[in-house]
Amino acid sequence: MNKKTTRRNFIMTSVAVTGGIVGGAAMNKQTQTKVASVDLP
């Protein structure tokens, strides 16, 4: 296995994992805001 390819794959995986965490947090926050706005009179 090529060292360069391994490093690129590792970076891509790290970016994907980080993006998933950030996306999940943003979606969770959006859902909480929606619920909060519904609760307002």
Buried b (16+ CB within 10 A) or exposed e, 2-28: eeeeeeeeeeeeeeeeeeeeeeeeeee
Query: What is the separation of C-alpha 30 from the centre of its chain, rounded to a whole number of angstroms?
Result: 13
Q: What distance in Å separates the CA atoms of residue 34 and residue 31, rounded to the nearest whole number? A: 5
Q: Global pTM?
A: 0.50
The pLDDT of residue 29 is 81
pLDDT in tens, 12-39: 999 989 988 888 888 888 777 776 667 6
